[in-house]
Amino acid sequence: MRKTIALIIVLIFLLTIVSCEKSAEEKAQELFNQAQLYQKAEEYDKAVELYRDIMVLYPEFTKINQVETNKKECQVEYYFDKAKTDISFERYESAMDNIQELLNIRPDHIEGNYALGFIYLRLSYDYLISSQMMGLSYMDKSLLTAQSNAFQQLARERFKKCLTLNENHYAGHKGMAHIYISEGKLDQAIEETNKAITYAPEGERKATCMELMAQIYITTGNYEAAENTIKEIITKYPNRGETYLLYGNFYLAQNKIDEAIDTLKKGMELNFEQEAYKGKMLATISYAYSLKKDYKNAIEYIKKAIDIDIMNNTYMDQYIQLYAMSK
C-alpha cells in the first residue's frame, strides 16, 4: 500500500514537471514578444538577433513568416539610422555602404534611394570643385569633371526612381531641383522646388524646401525674394540652425560681412541639436572673419568647428590655410 502511494506521488511529481515544461511554440512566442519590444524601442540590432534565433531554433513557429518580415524591417531601419548619422557628419563612404545594405533588402525603399541620390550629388559637387583647383593638368581636370558628371547622373537616376515610386515624393522633386541647379536650368529648378514645397509635410521637411528656394533666389541675385523667404522660414520655424546658416551666406553673397557674422552668431544661440550645422556655422563665421583679414578670430572659430567634428578634413584644411595666412 505504501509503495503504491509512493509511486502515485512520484507520478504526480513527474506529471507536474512535464506540465510545467514550456512547449516550443511558447518559447518561440516569448522570444517573439521580446524581439517586438526591442523593435518598438528602436534597438534594432537586438531585435534582429532574437528574430534570427527564432528562425533557427523554432522554424515551425506559427508566426515564422511575420518573424522574417519583422527581421527585414529591423535590418532596414538599422542600416537607415546608421546611414542618416553618417550623412549628418558627411561620412559618405560609410553611409553608402549602409544604404546599399538597406537596398539589398528592400530595393524600393524610397528614402534610401533618395539618400543615395543625395550622396551621389554631394560627391558630384566635390569632384566639380576639385576640378577647378589651380595647378591641375588638363587631363586631371578632365578626369575630375568626368567623375563629377558620372555621380550627377547616378544622382538623377535615384531621384527619378523616387518619383517613379511616388510622383508626389517631395524629396524626389527636391533632388531634381538640385540637378537642374547644377545644370544651370534655374527655371526648371524653381518648378521642381515649388512641387517639393507643395508636397512636403509641415515642419523640417517643408522648411528645407523653402531654404532651397531661397538659395535659388540668392543664386539668381533676387535678394529681395531670398530674404522674404528666409524671414518666412524663421517666422514659421524659428529654431533652425540651417536657416541662419543660409541667412549668413545671403549676406556674404552681397559682401555684407558684418551682417553675416552677426546673423551667424545669433544662429549659434539657438537651441538646435544638429552638431554638424553648428560646425558649419562656426566655419562660416571663421571664413567671414578671414574676409576682414581678422585671422585671430578666424582661427578661433575654426578651432571651435574642429572641436565639434574633429574628423572633418575641410575644417582642418581651413585651419591650416588660416594659420599660414596669419603669419
Per residue in 109-125, pLDDT (tens digit) is 999 999 999 999 999 98
Name the 3-class secondary structure at 238. Answer: coil
The pLDDT > 90 percentage for the chain reads 62
Give me the mean pLDDT over the 160-176 stretch.
96
Tell me how far apart the alpha carbons of residues 319 and 126 are, in angstroms, rounded to a whole number: 19
Task: Give the confidence band of 2 by pLDDT, cuts at 50, 70, 90.
Answer: low
User: Residue 10 pLDDT > 80, yes or no?
Assistant: no
Summary mean pLDDT of the chain? 89
Residue, of 278 and 13, whose pLDDT is higher = 278
pLDDT at 140: 87
Phi, psi of 108 (to 5 degrees): -95, 20
pLDDT at 4: 61
Verdict on whether the full-model pTM lies above 0.85: no
Q: What is the pLDDT of residues 249-294, one digit of tens each?
A: 999 999 999 999 999 999 998 877 677 788 999 999 999 999 999 9
C-alpha cell at 42: 528602436
Residue given cell 552681397 in the structure block:
254
Helix 110-131 to helix 138-165 angle, to the nearest 10 degrees? Answer: 160
Question: Under a CB-based contact definition with an 8 Å cutoff, are residues 69 and 61 in contact?
Answer: no
C-alpha cell at 135: 595647378
Question: Under a CB-based contact definition with an 8 Å cutoff, are residues 286 and 298 in contact?
Answer: yes
User: Residue 7 pLDDT > 70, yes or no?
Assistant: no
C-alpha cell at 310: 574633429
pLDDT at 124: 94
pLDDT at 311: 86
Q: What is the pLDDT of residues 204-218, one digit of tens each?
A: 899 999 999 999 999
pLDDT at 32: 86
Give me the mean pLDDT over the 128-137 stretch.
83
156, with CB counted inside 10 A (0-12, 13-18, 19+), is buried
Give me the mean pLDDT over the 295-299 stretch.
95
Tell me how far apart the alpha carbons of residues 55 and 203 are, in angstroms, rounded to a whole number: 41
Tell me how far apart the alpha carbons of residues 31 and 247 are, in angstroms, rounded to a whole number: 52
Return the sign of the alpha-carbon dihedral for residues 207, 43, 116, 274: positive
Give me the mean pLDDT over the 54-83 stretch.
89
DSSP 215-235: HHHHHHT-HHHHHHHHHHHHH
Query: Is the CATH number 3.30.420 carried by domain 26-107?
Result: no
pLDDT at 18: 40
User: Residue 143 pLDDT > 70, yes or no?
Assistant: yes
Question: Under a CB-based contact definition with an 8 Å cutoff, are residues 291 and 257 in contact?
Answer: yes
The pLDDT > 70 percentage for the chain reads 93
User: Residue 299 pLDDT > 90, yes or no?
Assistant: yes
Looking at residue 134, its amino acid is: M
pLDDT at 177: 97
